[in-house]
Amino acid sequence: MAREFVWLECMETGLRNYRVNKETRGTERLELKKYNKKLRKHTAHKESRKK
């Protein structure tokens, strides 16, 4: 099983706020609603790989 850490990036501010462990083989990109401290509300976050 190939697992990898990926970052969740806020779609409104572009900040990478969360890091999650994810199965990488045969999966689609994550999109979750998470809390953004800067905006002080829940916003959409998409997966991005930090290199």
pTM of the model: 0.81
Cα–Cα distance, 3 to 25 (Å, whole number): 8
- In angstroms, the Cα distances linking 10 to 2, 3, 23, 26, 33 are 25, 22, 21, 24, 9
What would the pLDDT profile of 1-51 be if each residue is shown by its tens digit? Answer: 788 899 999 999 999 999 999 988 888 889 999 999 999 999 999 999 775
Q: How many domains does the chain have?
A: 1
Q: CATH no. for residue 33?
A: 2.20.28.120
Which residues constitute the domain of residue 39? 3-48
